[in-house]
Amino acid sequence: SQTIHQWPATLVQPVGSPLSLECTVEGTSNPNLYWYRQAAGRGLQLLFYSVGIGQISSEVPQNLSASRPQDRQFILSSKKLLLSDSGFYLCAWHHPGGGQPQHFGDGTRLSIL
Amino acid sequence: DAKTTQPPSMDCAEGRAANLPCNHSTISGNEYVYWYRQIHSQGPQYIIHGLKNNETNEMASLIITEDRKSSTLILPHATLRDTAVYYCIVRVPRWTGANNLFFGTGTRLTVIP
């Protein structure tokens, strides 16, 4: 069966510090991968998605970036965090087409001080 | 993607069936209905999805009306661990590009002992 792992679960970072969140998927190949951010009491905001290694599409301009160095690895990064980067970050995967659902990781709660 | 309407909250007695409605009167012929739930501080959990026919899996049943303008998620024997926010999402699956999900406000289900 397929599983998705995100780490760390929680993170507290000072303003201006760098960020690296990692997501890995097991038990499948060639998944589409997604990074979302969920603000408190609000819906999901799509940040990045990837359909293959090295292929990244950005949905919202910001000081975050994403990379996909391996088929089942998706990384969210920032060189200098802003207070507004606080939130709940979710990684998800699915197989495209045919109505296949997305499956989410447990998320990373990021607090910027 | 079609808009969905869900009641903001519902209660259900433990051990009874929980029936969560969703209205999607503007749904188009190729849009799927997806149900997810989110327990506080966790990532969204996929429950079930369907296009036209009723569906059942180990977690729940999905009943879609013949005109597809509404659906009901049924948790046959609710437990305290089913207390969560339940989201009904309608969207067309895409073979290319992002298949991002838009979560509305959902229904907060509280299972009462």
CA pair distance B54, B76, nearest whole angstrom: 15
CB contact under 8 A, B99 and A32: yes
pLDDT at B1: 67
pLDDT at B33: 94
Q: Which residues pair with A110 in a beta bridge?
A: A11, A87
CB contact under 8 A, B46 and A103: yes
pLDDT at B30: 87
CB contact under 8 A, B100 and A98: no
* Nearest chain B CA: its distance from A74 CA (Å): 15
Instruction: For chain A, give the number of residues.
Output: 113
Q: Is B53 on the interface with A (CB under 8 A)?
A: no
β-strand A87-94 against A103-104: which pairing, if any?
Answer: antiparallel
Considering only CB atoms, B46 lies closest to which of A57, A101, A107, namely A101
pLDDT at B95: 65
* Region A76-93 average pLDDT: 95
Q: Considering only CA atoms, which of A63, A60, A110 is closest in space to residue A88?
A: A110
Which tens digit of pLDDT belongs to each residue from A65-76? 999 999 999 999
The B residues from 7 to 26 touching A (CB cutoff 8 Å) are none
- Point out the least confidently predicted range of A66-70, A93-97, A104-108, B67-71: A93-97
In chain B, which residues have their Cβ closer than 8 Å to the Cβ of A103?
46
User: Is A37's pLDDT higher than 70?
Assistant: yes
pLDDT at A25: 97
Burial B36-45 (b: 16+ CB within 10 A, else e): bbbeeebbbb
Counting other chains too, the contacts that A2-5 makes at CB distance below 8 Å and 24 or more residues apart are A2/A26, A2/A27, A2/A28, A2/A93, A2/A103, A3/A27, A4/A91, A4/A92, A4/A93, A4/A103, A4/A104, A4/A105, A5/A105
* Nearest chain B CA: its distance from A56 CA (Å): 11
Per-residue CA distances from A4 to A8, A108, B43, B55 (Å): 13, 13, 11, 25
Return the amino acid letter for A53. Answer: I
pLDDT at A39: 80
Per-residue pLDDT of chain B (113 residues; tens, 9 = 90+): 668 999 999 999 999 999 999 999 999 888 999 999 999 889 999 999 999 999 999 999 999 999 999 999 999 999 999 999 999 999 887 766 666 778 888 999 999 99
Rg (CA), chain B: 14
Q: Can you tell me whether residue B60 is helix, strand or coil?
A: coil
pLDDT at A99: 83
CA B77, A90, A61, A54 dihedral sign is negative
CB contact under 8 A, A107 and B51: no
User: Is A91's pLDDT higher than 90?
Assistant: yes
pLDDT at B96: 66
